[in-house]
Amino acid sequence: MDQRFIVDGNQLAAHIAQPTQLHPTAQAGLVIAHGFPAEVGGGINSTASFPKLADRVATDLGWVGLAFASRGVAESEGNFSLGGWLRDLQGAVAYLRESVPVHGVWIVGFGTGGALAIEAAALDPEIRGVAAVASPADFQDWASNPRKLMVLARDMGISRDGGDFDGSFDDWAAELKSIAAADAAQRLAPRELMVLHGGDDDTVPVFDSRAVADAHGTADLRLVHGGGHHLRHDPRAMAILLGWLERQRVALPQSENRDLA
């Protein structure tokens, strides 16, 4: 990743991909949010593949794409916290808007990043839509045993130097209860939401996708038959995602015209 932006004093690594020619009045922008690492270094859901996804949406679909690494991940400074990752995502949206003249911003999030994407969009009325991929409806499993999560974060290398919470451990743990995609989806409506989930996901139950979609009310729920948790590497899931993004991009000029009327 070749760029940097700062959130809470942490330098975060980022990559911006631009199409050959920016649209003069209706340029779509996409922020890509990764999930919690599956193993040390990220493993199959490593942030290393997301700049390639940003490049693809720029080259094939004409979007401006931003991929970034949240605090504690890859080259980014800081230590993992759920609230910190939410602020990092909000900072990434702001950085995209400051860097390139986009007329609409969407977020695509994977796993934990998908849940945070829904929360970030619910808090920012200017975000036009979200695609949440293999994302949990809430973080109650983590909240039930936050010290186990802290040990896991240290083992994954995303909580460094013993874990600097920028506050108390109790505050760090409380964030796990305060963020829930199902609750945020209701506040996101009626803006666009696609919920994409693997039918055989053994990490996040399919029930979570239905809970999020039901809470939104008009979400586009897509289940990939036989798909697992790591849909970033499932060609069928990526085809669904890219198709949804293309429809969002095509609709953008129409919405811009309505806004100017």
Rounded to the nearest 10 degrees, the angle between the axes of helix 146-155 and helix 169-178 is 100
**Quick check: 12 pLDDT over 90?**
yes
- Model pTM greater than 0.75? yes
The number of helix segments (H) and strand segments (E) in the chain equals 9, 8
Domain ranges, residue 40:
3-260
Distance, in Å, from the CA atom of 130 to the CA atom of 124, rounded to the nearest integer, reads 12
Q: How many domains does the chain have?
A: 1
Provide the pLDDT for residue 227. Answer: 97
3-state DSSP helix/strand/coil % of the chain, to nearest 5: 45, 20, 35
Q: What is the pLDDT of residues 103-153, one digit of tens each?
A: 999 999 999 999 999 999 999 999 999 999 999 999 999 999 999 999 999
Detail the DSSP E strand segments found in 120-219: 127-133, 192-198
Q: Which residues are 78's β-sheet partners?
A: none
**Quick check: 26 pLDDT over 90?**
yes
- What is the average pLDDT score of the chain? 93
Q: What is the pLDDT of residues 165-218, one digit of tens each?
A: 566 889 999 999 999 999 999 999 999 999 999 999 999 999 999 999 999 999
Provide the pLDDT for residue 259. Answer: 52
**Do you find a cis peptide bond into 51, omega within 30 degrees of 0?**
no
Q: What's the CA angle centered on 205, arms 200 and 207, to 5 degrees?
A: 110
Domain containing residue 103: CATH number: 3.40.50.1820
